Amino acid sequence: MNRPIRNIAVACLVLFLALIINANYVQFVEADSLNSKNGNRRVINEEFSRDRGSILVDGKPVAESVKSKDEYKFQRKYPDAELYAPLTGYFSYIFGRSAVESTQNDVLSGSDDRLFVNRVVDLVSNKQPKGGSVELTIDPLAQKAASEGLERLGDETKGAVAAIDPRTGAVLAMVTQPSYDPNQLASHDFDKVQAAWKQLTGDADQPMTNRSTESTLPPGSTFKLITAAAALENGVVNNIDDKVKAGSTLKFPGYGYTLPNENGGNCGGNEITFERALNVSCNVAFGGLALEIGQEKLAAQAAKFGFGTDPISGLAASPSRFTTPDTTLEPPQLGQSGIGQYDVAATPLQMAMVAAGIANDGNVMKPYVIDTVRAPNLRVLDKTQPERLSEAVSSTTARKLREMMVSTVTQGTATSAQIPGVEVGAKTGTAQSTPDRPPYAWFVSYAKDGDKEVAVAVLVESSDTARDEIAGGRLAGPIAKSVMQAVLGS
């Protein structure tokens, strides 16, 4: 009977080999795909139990993990929660993560490939793996100034501020109001998290939307900067002293519609200088210029400033648009588009990029919020290198546009942003949407003082201010000014 027994021994060997090979397959080959499957509580738990890295602003944490006594070992905390929520995002057991918590998750959780050596060292020394930290580009003073500026308009105010360094694209301030408290979503009391989530997502004011990158609204007269740029670039107007058509209304032959000026006034004559037209935000002049430039060239100019692209990495963002793709605009629509109405929609960040491009000699830099990424031992793993998005206009055109923006501050609609002894250029905007809601107040500006530069866009969607008081210069201008002052340190 020994022969069958030997055969059985071989059969048993095959069975055990099959088990061992299969175990290798599941635990080694298939492990990664299993770990990334939805509903894998082990991976969520593990991530939650890890000493997650901090998100820092000027060396101080705006998101950090502190030890907790429950089963998850660590609790995510957000000091200054509402101020930095649009940047940090939330880190929730049930609802996942957003913004920098999401895009930098590999580093923060410590699973990034660049932290491989750290993980091995931790494994050998039997230490809990620790995440790396992320330093944001935000200037805390500017962030604070922007937030306080919006708050001064009242609790009901909805709006956003985006400020960037024109030379690098580094985001210096990014504020949205109303904001939310990510601590509520990071709580380990899941019933409370559920309730908070329900309340936040059900809120008509959408506090979890980052208005400066996600909400696209008609930019109104601030879009005239782009129309002006296109006019100069395409030779429609050559100098800022050239005369352009003005008056009180723009007629479109063959159409019943006429384009009026804001408040129905005259721009100061039937022919004024190009510079003056921007200073007083003359709709008739820029509507007419748009017709002369043509849809194609105007759209191309907007695209060069970043319209139609996802402008920022590391945050959720909506692309701004000049018009819906594949649409041919009728002359009245093109005229309206030239002054930032009709179908034009932009985010505050996009408008800040326009001002920044003009301030930076026509070069638009790609905005970014992640300055440096560090390992747990503070070794720098990555430092964002500024990257040029495009050359929007020539440096000559940029210089002319700056001159026009500066004179708008000194003698035009944007006087509220004057800072003594500092070069400040700006453009206001009061955009109409539907008749039943108040217009949006915009303010797009830049400032240069010595080795410091900043470009700011402010949007006030609604506030406690009376309707006829709403104007970009009055409402949004002071906020932009305070942000610029904070950055310049003056």
Q: How far is the CB of 39 from other proteins (least distance, A)?
A: 7
Q: How far is the CB of 49 from other proteins (least distance, A)?
A: 10
Alpha-carbon gap, residue 89 to 182, rounded angstroms: 7
Q: What is the 3-state secondary structure (H, E, C) of the chain?
A: CHHHHHHHHHHHHHHHHHHHHHHHHHHHHCHHHHHCCCCCHHHHHHHHCCECCCEEECCEEEEEEEECCCCCCEEEECCCHHHHHHHHCCEECCCEECHHHHHCHHHHHCCCHHHHHHHHHHHHCCCCCECCEEEECCCHHHHHHHHHHHHHCCCCCEEEEEEECCCCCEEEEEEEECCCCHHHHHCCCHHHHHHHHHHHHHCCCCCCCCHHHHCCECCHHHHHHHHHHHHHHCCCCCCCCCEEECCCEEECCCCCCEEECHHHCCCCCCEEEHHHHHHCCCHHHHHHHHHHHCHHHHHHHHHHCCCCCCCCECCCCCCCECCCCCCCCCHHHHHHHHCCCCCCEECHHHHHHHHHHHHCCCEEECCECEEEEECCCCCEEEECCCCEEEECCCHHHHHHHHHHHHHHHHHCCCHHHCCCCCEEEEEEEEECCCCCCCCEEEEEEEEEECCEEEEEEEEEEECCCCHHHCCHHHHCHHHHHHHHHHHHCC
When the beta carbons of 15 and 380 are compared against other proteins, the nearer one is 15
Q: How far is the CB of 44 from other proteins (least distance, A)?
A: 10
Q: How far is the CB of 110 from other proteins (least distance, A)?
A: 15
Q: How far is the CB of 10 from other proteins (least distance, A)?
A: 10
When the beta carbons of 12 and 94 are compared against other proteins, the nearer one is 12
Alpha-carbon gap, residue 344 to 239, rounded angstroms: 26
Query: Using CB under 8 A as the criterion, which residues of the chain lie in contact with other proteins when the complex forms?
Result: 1-9, 12-13, 15-16, 18-20, 22-24, 26-28, 30-32, 34-35, 37, 39-43, 45-46, 71, 123
Q: How far is the CB of 471 from other proteins (least distance, A)?
A: 56
When the beta carbons of 191 and 326 are compared against other proteins, the nearer one is 191
Token digits for 245? Answer: 């058509």
Q: How far is the CB of 20 from other proteins (least distance, A)?
A: 6
Q: How far is the CB of 33 from other proteins (least distance, A)?
A: 8
When the beta carbons of 16 and 257 are compared against other proteins, the nearer one is 16
When the beta carbons of 72 and 78 are compared against other proteins, the nearer one is 72
When the beta carbons of 128 and 411 are compared against other proteins, the nearer one is 128
Catalytic residue among 109, 215, 221, 407: 221
Rounded to 5 degrees, what angle do the CA atoms 255, 220, 405 make? Answer: 120
When the beta carbons of 13 and 380 are compared against other proteins, the nearer one is 13
Residue 221 annotated in active site? yes
Residues 425, 279, 232, 226, Cα dihedral to 10°: 70
When the beta carbons of 20 and 380 are compared against other proteins, the nearer one is 20
Active site residues: 221
